Structure 1
Amino acid sequence: MPRHLRSQREYLTALRDIGDLQPIDVEVDWNLELGAITRRAYELPAAAPLFNRIRGIEPGFRVLGAPAGLSSHPTSPLARVALALGLPIDTAPDELVTAWSHLQECEPLPPRLVPTGPCKQNRMTGDDVDLFRLPAPLLHAGDGGRYLNTYGTVVTTSPDGSWTNWAITRIMLRDRTSMTGIVVPAQHVGRMHRMWADTGRDMPFALALGTSPGVAMVAGCPVRDGLDEAALLGGWFGEPLDVVRCETHDLKVPADSEIVVEGYLSFEETAPEGPMGEYSGLLWPEDSRLCPVYRVTAITYRDDPVLPVVVAGMPVEENHTNWGINISAAVLHELRTEGLPVRRAFMPFAAACHWLVVTVDTTAGPGRWGSWRKLAEEVGQAVYRTRPRHIMPKVVVVEDDINPANLDEVVWALATRAHPRETMFVPDMPTLPLVGYLSDEERQTARTDKAVFNCLPRDDWSATGAPVRADFAQFPAELRDRVVRDWQSYGYPPAD
């Protein structure tokens, strides 16, 4: 059974134990300095910064930067994600995806309602509510405001109470008692919001900040409609999650949350939101839009709470680790259920969630599809039938001799195996408006063309005449073993 870190506090201890947490005790400004330090930590990569003193914020409120960024651990780049899933820290990227792709096959274990929890240690209600007491930072030069939510879990439920959803979506401070944020219609928060708007009522919400790391992972996973992420995560870890009831409505949140913000998302009131530097690595200076307003009715928090913060932008950050791994795993699960001969899936970090690479087992031939081109087309079409189809604009279908998490191999396959004539275009598909290259019209309509790159064998190649890789693996096994064994005798230093 995967190891369950039951709170963000346990996660911080685990990071400290592997040398991947950097407490920062000097005072740091929430105005850009915190964001700049976190960005540099991503790009080195360095240990996750834990900011213990923040200028203009009362003592005790803290910030964890880069909560699921690449690790500074020399042999375990995805140690933070592996810890979140309860897996060994040296699990390979594609193996993380394959393991997590079985999440939706777990027997759901509903959460356990408890009378109280650490998140109830302090309360702000009524006139005492003040969002500016929280250490929300201004992350990028050019952002439209201070973003409180970059890695917290938004809890919503359908009007009839039959479906509870956990999701991650960006939310910007507006004033002491309100916030605003993008609500994408194709995503579950947008679906829930539409259900409530159709009834003419504001939608209850709870924002759980600083949860156990597994909660953030499952909240970023595009699971099927109607599934309860809390129950799925309980099934994954083999034990129910403890939840508590909110102060001003009946939504339940993880009991060990560091901070909980609760209230109602308006079905009619809007306010300007953005711009914000995003996962594509770009910030559009004029990208401000009217978005629904979150009205806050209560804030509860632990003693000395820790707010997790993501500074979105150039890879690699949490949009590429958490989100990219989640999308890959969800798509891989769906492709398997369709009976396609797929082995692995991965969104290469450097492609900023704009490529999905799917590997195909070619040992048995193209099977019932009759040709490699038709099989590649079916894989691409199946990807664009999945729930996260609006996210990835380009699908790369390769043979299973390519490691989809190895960018060098993916680029080589694209360069040498993808014939331009066999690139398949899928017109007028739904898209996330944050895709980097969209026209103004495409961003407004959230529609664009997508592509499938076929890197499978050509159909006019004979079985014996198809090219093979010219690399070390093609030499006889006995010779390879001898070369590896005698490597230092040739004068080379020991190989890793």
Structure 2
Amino acid sequence: MSVEYDDLRGYIEVLEASGCLKKVENADWNVEIGAICEMNSERKGNALLFDKIKGYPEGYRILTNFLFQPKKVQRLAFGIPDSMSDNDIIFDWKDKLVNYRPIPPVVVDSGPVMENIQTGDDIDMFKFPAPFWHIHDGGRYIGTGDLNINRDPDTGYVNIGTYRVMIHEKNMLSYYMSPGAHGQIIREKYWQQGKDCPVVLCFGQDPMIFAASTMQIPWGQSEYDFAGYIKGRPIKVIIDEVTGLPIPAAAEIAIAGFAPPPDKENRLEGPFGEWTGYYASEPYNRPLIHVEKVYHRNNPIITGAPLNKFEPAWYEIPIHYAPNIWERLLAFGMPGIKGVWSYGRGGRTIAVISINQSYLGHARAVGTIAAMIPRGAAMSGKYTIVVDDDIDPSNWDEVAWALSSRVEPETQIDILRGHLNTPLDPAVPPNRRARQDYTMGRVVIDACRPFNWRHEYSEVISYPAEVKKQLGEKFAYLWQ
């Protein structure tokens, strides 16, 4: 795998050369762009580049559907060859995690993001065509496919996450983070000391940095280092003088500012149509960011990732989640892992693990450990299913067959209680939501043949592979 492009514009050239980009002109930022994105997701369409947006200069653009789907777009973003199977991609990414060696960013004196700089009264966040993405959203959200950059005050490590950002005034934004998110933990440290949290937001950037921000990178490891590792070269950054935080030198739009403690200052934010497919969080007084400096390239491009019920909500090939489960199981010494896949909203609600059982209780141990790996938030790990190695975890039909025929519900389903979930999950009951209790159970399903009588289990109906191969060659015209 090889990632050749250096910034978002280079990636757009890759998409266009591969026939995976459609250009849209004269759409309105108010609902039209969001509706088009929903229709495009429903059809599993290609990336969309909006230009000549109503009320904005030509060249002020928005790129959507640029990473998660369809699979061809995801393969282009990560430099994955068409010859590599989906399961081989997960295996390869598992190896990347096992062999991870950080490549830290390199500081440069200048970059394209510095082509235009505004401070003071010159700042106007409405100069950018932030869409009204969904019909019942609470405002215009410039941050959906964005980066939120902050620094842990105790260790100095730089974290990058993706969180929604709404414009309130020319120089004022609000932002939402789910409990347990690393960015949330960091900003709380500043607030507990009575300090404003320094923050940088980027609203258009190298897809690899954005991809890193969506993955479960362990606490203390910077997403900058991980993105550099995946690309095979360091990310170039400039240092913002206002916050001291690193900004991707080739970012399209970046802002620097400070978030005061929410008990000091806040604004009503939301609702917003989230990746769950619902307006899942009610309007609430959220923390603010006072923008002190704006950087942007000439003819800047916003990266948008508005999600809806048709969107798979993250990657069709779940490199952001399944390899992490696999790598952690290996770290815990679990033998016989043959494959891992994930499904559901966020591509992380349902994990399926294929194993070669080697001892009594093996399947239950794998399932329990895998269910404990997600760090909370974002509905991760609600269901963990363990299947035998004759089941392809990436084939939902096979998984459903195992669930239907190899599970005795009374003894092969466990519920692990009290795990952190997210307020965005519409299944959180109103009474618990009111007291900000976002814990929920996690389900572990042992869909393997019982180890102690697996050899007595009913035989599967299937012709030998060599017989089907011979007949396939003899009667090939049947499937042409």
Q: If the length of structure 1 is used for normalisation, what is the TM-score?
A: 0.89
**Partners of 2:374 and 2:347 in 1: CA distance:** 19
Amino acid at match of 2:190: W
- Residue 344 (structure 1) shift: 2.4
Residue 250 of structure 2 corresponds to 256
Does 1:393 pair with 2:382? yes
CA displacement, residues 441-484 of structure 1 (integer Å, 9 cap, x when unaligned):
34431111221111111245242x223432xxx42333222112
**Partners of 1:278 and 1:115 in 2: CA distance:** 38
Residue 75 of structure 1 corresponds to none
Counting only pairs closer than 5 Å after superposition, residues 117-128 of structure 1 correspond to structure 2 as 117-128=111-122
Q: Which moved more, 1:84-93 or 1:258-267?
A: 84-93
Call closer, same or farther: CA 1:157–1:118 in 2, change over 3 Å: same
CA displacement, residues 155-209 of structure 1 (integer Å, 9 cap, x when unaligned):
1111245211111111111221111122223110111111211222111111122
- Residue 410 (structure 1) shift: 2.1
- Residue 351 (structure 1) shift: 8.2
**Partners of 1:352 and 1:435 in 2: CA distance:** 14
- 8 Å CA contact 1:5–1:213 kept in 2: the answer is no
- Residue number among 253, 264, 274 corresponding to 1:278 in the alignment: 274
Residue 339 of structure 2 corresponds to 344
Does 1:461 pair with 2:453? yes
- 8 Å CA contact 1:310–1:318 kept in 2: the answer is no
- 8 Å CA contact 1:206–1:251 kept in 2: the answer is yes
Amino acid at match of 2:57: E
Amino acid at match of 2:392: N
- Residue number among 122, 132, 135 corresponding to 2:126 in the alignment: 132
- 8 Å CA contact 1:244–1:255 kept in 2: the answer is yes
Residue 87 of structure 1 corresponds to 80
- 8 Å CA contact 2:316–2:347 kept in 1: the answer is no
Does 1:326 pair with 2:320? yes
Call closer, same or farther: CA 1:350–1:164 in 2, change over 3 Å: closer
**Partners of 1:334 and 1:116 in 2: CA distance:** 39
Residue 74 of structure 1 corresponds to none
Q: Secondary structure at the match of 1:87?
A: coil
**Partners of 1:125 and 1:223 in 2: CA distance:** 33
Residue 55 of structure 1 corresponds to 54
Amino acid at match of 1:448: M
- Residue 387 (structure 1) shift: 4.4
- Residue number among 218, 225, 229 corresponding to 1:231 in the alignment: 225
Where structure 2 has 5 or more consecutive residues not aligned to the other structure, the ranges are none
**Partners of 1:461 and 1:161 in 2: CA distance:** 52
Q: Secondary structure at the match of 1:300?
A: strand
Counting only pairs closer than 5 Å after superposition, residues 83-232 of structure 1 correspond to structure 2 as 83-89=76-82, 91-104=84-97, 105-160=99-154, 162-232=156-226
- 8 Å CA contact 1:98–1:329 kept in 2: the answer is yes
- Residue 226 (structure 1) shift: 0.5
Q: Secondary structure at the match of 1:196?
A: helix
Call closer, same or farther: CA 1:70–1:462 in 2, change over 3 Å: closer
**Partners of 1:351 and 1:163 in 2: CA distance:** 26
Call closer, same or farther: CA 1:303–1:247 in 2, change over 3 Å: farther
- Residue 236 (structure 1) shift: 2.7
- Residue 493 (structure 1) shift: 4.5
Call closer, same or farther: CA 1:458–1:186 in 2, change over 3 Å: same
CA displacement, residues 316-359 of structure 1 (integer Å, 9 cap, x when unaligned):
3443548x531222222211111113232222257864212122
Does 1:293 pair with 2:288? yes
Residue 381 of structure 1 corresponds to 368
Call closer, same or farther: CA 1:441–1:92 in 2, change over 3 Å: farther
- Residue 112 (structure 1) shift: 0.8
- 8 Å CA contact 2:215–2:321 kept in 1: the answer is yes
**Partners of 1:65 and 1:54 in 2: CA distance:** 14
- Residue number among 409, 424, 435 corresponding to 2:414 in the alignment: 424
- Residue 271 (structure 1) shift: 1.8
Q: Which moved more, 1:438-447 or 1:180-189?
A: 438-447
Call closer, same or farther: CA 1:128–1:213 in 2, change over 3 Å: same
Does 1:484 pair with 2:472? yes
Call closer, same or farther: CA 1:343–1:297 in 2, change over 3 Å: farther
Call closer, same or farther: CA 1:330–1:488 in 2, change over 3 Å: closer
**Partners of 2:182 and 2:212 in 1: CA distance:** 13
Aligned residues: 471
**Partners of 2:165 and 2:83 in 1: CA distance:** 33
Residue 357 of structure 1 corresponds to 352
Amino acid at match of 2:11: Y
Residue 437 of structure 1 corresponds to 427
Q: Secondary structure at the match of 1:28?
A: coil
**Partners of 2:339 and 2:64 in 1: CA distance:** 30
- Residue 235 (structure 1) shift: 2.3
Amino acid at match of 1:310: A
- Residue number among 284, 304, 309 corresponding to 1:309 in the alignment: 304
CA RMSD of aligned residues (A): 2.1
Q: Secondary structure at the match of 1:267?
A: coil
Amino acid at match of 2:416: V
**Partners of 1:45 and 1:300 in 2: CA distance:** 33
- Residue 109 (structure 1) shift: 1.5
Q: Secondary structure at the match of 1:325?
A: coil
Residue 21 of structure 1 corresponds to 21
Residue 401 of structure 2 corresponds to 412
* Percent of aligned pairs with the same amino acid: 25
**Partners of 2:285 and 2:304 in 1: CA distance:** 24
Amino acid at match of 2:92: A
Amino acid at match of 2:286: C
Q: Which moved more, 1:30-39 or 1:79-88?
A: 79-88
Residue 6 of structure 1 corresponds to 6
Amino acid at match of 1:283: Y
**Partners of 2:310 and 2:133 in 1: CA distance:** 16
- Residue 438 (structure 1) shift: 2.0
Call closer, same or farther: CA 1:455–1:493 in 2, change over 3 Å: closer
- 8 Å CA contact 1:106–1:236 kept in 2: the answer is no
Q: If the length of structure 2 is used for normalisation, what is the TM-score?
A: 0.92
